[in-house]
Amino acid sequence: MSDYRVLSAGDTAIVVEFGEQIDRKVSTTVLALARRLAEARIEGVVECVPTFRSLMVHYDPLLLATDSLLSRIDELVQGLQTTTRVGRQWKLPACYDESIAPDLDEVAARTGLSPTQVVECHSATTYHVYMIGFMPGMAYLGDVPEVLRLPRRSTPRIKVPAGSLAIATMMSCVYPLDTPAGWHLIGRSPVPFLIRHPRPAALLAPGDTVRFAPVSLREYEDLLAKSAAGALTIKPVSETLEAAA
Closest alpha carbon to 16 in 77, 64, 86, 63:
77
Report which of residues 188 and 201 the model is more confident about: 188
Which residue type sits at 189?
A: S
Ordered DSSP codes for 136-170 = TT-EEEE---GGG--PPPSS-EEEE-TTEEEEETT
Give the distance, in angstroms, between the CA of residue 153 and the centroid of all CA atoms in the same chain: 21
- Cite the residue boundaries of each domain of the chain with CATH code 2.40.100.10: 89-228
Q: Which of 68, 86, 109 is nearest to 31 (CA)?
A: 86
CATH 3.30.1360.40 matches 5-77: yes
- In DSSP terms, 59 is beta-bridged to 45
State the CB neighbour count (10 A cutoff) for residue 140: 21
Q: Which CATH class is domain 89-228?
A: mainly beta
Residue 199: pLDDT band (50, 70, 90) is confident
CB 19 within 8 A of CB 74: no
- pLDDT at site 200: 76
Which residues belong to CATH 3.30.1360.40 in the chain? 5-77
125-137 average pLDDT score = 96
Over range 186-197, report the average pLDDT: 92
